[in-house]
Amino acid sequence: MDGTKRVSAELVPVEAIGERLGALPENARRAWTNLTTPRPPLALGERVLRLDQPQVAAIVNATPDSFSDGGAFADADAAAEAGHAMAAAGAALIDVGGESTRPGAAAVWEGDELERVLPVIQRLARSGTAVSIDTRKAAVMEAALAAGAAMVNDVSALTWDERAAEVVARAGCPIVLMHHQGTPETMQQAPHYPRPVPFEVYDWLERRIEAAVAAGIDRTRIVADPGIGFGKTVQHNLDLLNGLALLHGLGCPLMLGASRKRMIGALSGEAPTDARLPGSIALALKGAEQGAQLLRVHDVPETVQALRVWRGLRDAALTPR
């Protein structure tokens, strides 16, 4: 490579890889180790989330203004009932959020956020369902973890609240670090990257992972999310999805959240959010194809079925006859 341009390419026999790696810089050898090392399972309280196959993380937005289902789960009983149904349909994890981070959304007071998410988390956790809390705020993280959540999903990658990294480190829970550019209020105002977006996202996430480790968070508990739609044009999203496998070099499991995103509408005649299921499944399978371990989706039964068929095809192709 010369900067971001490939200047040569070579096919190397498997038996010669070790010898070639010895001549590469240390960071390249580390990336190869990361690419070839299986991801250990995530401990979510008493539950264990295996990462040897793609898993579905279901979205429950307990908000009145989510971009895709605003108001549908604003009532705690409705949100908890939806979470239970999603778990029964095959979701391995229910991701509960109380603040919309759609483009243009304003920040929500933490008191309102807590009022929205805590009853939902408590109901789900009491039934033994694995729950994560989708929030940027340390106070919400603390209260949600105490209420039964076992994982934190932070769209700011621990940059929004200076106490957040300390809270996660003390709890010893898994954390999702998501790439973003700007804030929800500003992120879609002419997003720009000086280099190809997969390289930009890789380097940014690598820095955030190192910052999290320095704050006392175990590397094996860190999940990376490329942040589809968070400070990215449609072309940025396409480039990032096509280059998603590059991010395995970070050495962390990958979460992909592309469900019902605007890029689907942009590629399909501006289909509204409630008509983006086929595109959402296409992107989920693209993520699975490139090794994403967690797929964050709205439509659980349909995505689970699509993944089962995808796995059947893949397993049959790899089985000797």
Any catalytic annotation for residue 116? no
**Nearest-angstrom CA–CA distance, 284 and 290:** 10
Catalytic residue, chosen from 116, 137, 276, 296, is 296
Q: What is the DSSP letter of 105?
A: P
**Nearest-angstrom CA–CA distance, 94 and 58:** 5
Any catalytic annotation for residue 296? yes
**Nearest-angstrom CA–CA distance, 83 and 95:** 9
Q: What is the DSSP letter of 195?
A: S
Q: Which residue has the tokens 């790899």?
A: 318
Residue type, 128: G
Catalytic residue, chosen from 261, 308, 311, 314, is 261
Helix (H) / strand (E) element for 175: namely strand 175-178
**Nearest-angstrom CA–CA distance, 256 and 236:** 15
**Nearest-angstrom CA–CA distance, 165 and 76:** 28
Residues ≥6 apart with Cβ < 8 Å to 173: 44, 145, 149, 150, 151, 152, 221
The catalytic site residues sit at 261, 296
